[in-house]
């Protein structure tokens, strides 16, 4: 069965909620590592039996982050250099770019570590053959209503598993491969030249109704 591409307008709408969450949640798995690569399996539940499984791959170098997700909707890609975020789908030649606010990226690494320092310890568990320390925190910084549970590999300081629970649904990420001293090329963070990226802010303006509604 051939997968239908996601309309760019829909990607634009999804990005207003998914992209900031991805950047905010992203640093937690790699904590203090400046060069990081991981492969993971993500399971998401949105209620009413709407479950989705996707394969995720993450690269990090300094403040630069790249995420790739393969799921029922096909391949989705995100690149952030700390200033601008680019999103595109494999099957389309048009993508979207948006400005990354400081609260979405620059301070998230320190925020994640602060949240972990103030988290509740839930003991120890073995995850996929790795001994882990289990931690949980909620409403860190008062910015959301999400409960995050992390399984941190003992003595290694990276997350082996992460669960997020919110009124909108839940997701579980199991990190199958983790490289904390990866040699990540700068080319991983270069958006593809054959994709035309449109500014999300301008696109959203075009989707909003005029003041006072339709005339």
* Lowest-pLDDT range of 150-159, 170-179, 197-206: 197-206
Determine the 3-state secondary structure of 150 from DSSP.
strand
Instruction: Look at residue 107 and tell me if it is in a domain.
Output: yes
The parent domain of residue 22 ranges over 8-207
Instruction: Look at residue 1 and tell me if it is in a domain.
Output: no
How many domains would you assign to the chain? 1
Contact between 175 and 44 (Cβ < 8 Å)? no
Q: Which residues contact 162 (CB under 8 A, 6 or more apart)?
A: 25, 28, 29, 148, 149, 150, 151, 172, 173, 175
CA distance 203 to 215: 21
Q: 18 pLDDT exceeds 80?
A: no
CATH number of the domain that 170 lies in?
Answer: 2.50.20.10
Q: 211 pLDDT exceeds 80?
A: no
Instruction: Look at residue 3 and tell me if it is in a domain.
Output: no
Instruction: Look at residue 122 and tell me if it is in a domain.
Output: yes
Instruction: Look at residue 214 and tell me if it is in a domain.
Output: no
* Lowest-pLDDT range of 56-65, 97-106, 114-123, 165-174: 97-106
Percentage of the chain exceeding pLDDT 90: 17
Q: 210 pLDDT exceeds 70?
A: no
pLDDT of residue 125: 96
Q: Highest mean pLDDT range out of 7-21, 40-54, 138-152, 162-176? A: 162-176
Instruction: Look at residue 2 and tell me if it is in a domain.
Output: no
Instruction: Look at residue 119 and tell me if it is in a domain.
Output: yes
Q: Highest mean pLDDT range out of 107-111, 155-159, 170-174? A: 170-174
Instruction: Look at residue 213 and tell me if it is in a domain.
Output: no
């Amino acid at each position: 069965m051939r997968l239908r591409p996601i309309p760019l307008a829909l990607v634009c709408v999804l990005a207003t909620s998914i992209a900031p969450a991805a950047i905010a949640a992203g640093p937690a798995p790699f904590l203090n590592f400046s060069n990081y690569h991981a492969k993971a399996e993500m399971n998401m539940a949105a209620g009413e039996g709407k479950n989705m499984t996707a394969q995720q791959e993450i690269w990090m170098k300094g403040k630069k982050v790249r995420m790739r997700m393969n799921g029922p909707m096909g391949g989705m890609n995100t690149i952030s250099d700390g200033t601008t975020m680019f999103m595109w789908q494999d099957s389309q030649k048009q993508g979207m770019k948006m400005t990354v606010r400081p609260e979405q990226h620059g301070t998230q690494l320190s925020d994640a570590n602060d949240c972990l320092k103030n988290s509740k310890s839930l003991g120890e568990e073995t995850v996929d053959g790795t001994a882990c320390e289990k931690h949980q925190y909620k409403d860190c910084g008062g910015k959301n209503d999400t409960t995050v549970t992390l399984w941190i590999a003992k003595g290694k300081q990276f997350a082996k598993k992460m669960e997020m629970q919110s009124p909108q649904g839940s997701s579980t990420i199991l990190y199958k491969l983790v490289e904390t001293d990866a040699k990540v090329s700068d080319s991983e963070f270069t958006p593809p030249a054959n994709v035309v990226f449109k500014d999300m802010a301008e696109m959203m303006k075009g989707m909003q109704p005029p003041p006072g509604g339709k005339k």
